[in-house]
Amino acid sequence: MDWFAPVRAYCERTDADFWAEPVNALSNAGFLIAAAAAARRAARTAPPDRAGLVLSGLIAVVGIGSFLFHTLAVTWSMLADVFPIALFIYAYFALALRRYLQLPAAAVVAVTAGFAAFGFLLTPVLGDITGLDVSAATNGSVDYVPALLALFGIAAATMSRPEARIAGTGWRLAGIGCLFLVSLAARTVDQAACTSLPTGTHALWHILNAAVLYALVATAIRHRETAG
pLDDT tens profile 50-74: 999 999 999 999 999 999 999 999 9
Does residue 7 lie within any of the structural domains?
no
Residue 111 confidence (pLDDT): 98
Q: How many whole angstroms from its chain centre is CA 43? A: 22
Average pLDDT value for residue range 114-133? 96
Q: Which residue type occupies 204?
A: L
Neighbours of 211 (CB within 10 A): 17
Q: Which domain holds residue 218?
A: 81-227
Does residue 69 lie within any of the structural domains?
no
Does residue 67 lie within any of the structural domains?
no
Confidence of residue 84 (pLDDT cuts 50, 70, 90): very high
Does residue 183 lie within any of the structural domains?
yes
Confidence of residue 163 (pLDDT cuts 50, 70, 90): confident
Does residue 11 lie within any of the structural domains?
no
Measured distance CA(108)–CA(114) in Å, rounded = 10
Does residue 156 lie within any of the structural domains?
yes
Residue 227 confidence (pLDDT): 80
Does residue 60 lie within any of the structural domains?
no
Looking at the structure of the chain, the number of domains it has is 1
Q: What is the pTM of this model?
A: 0.96
Does residue 12 lie within any of the structural domains?
no
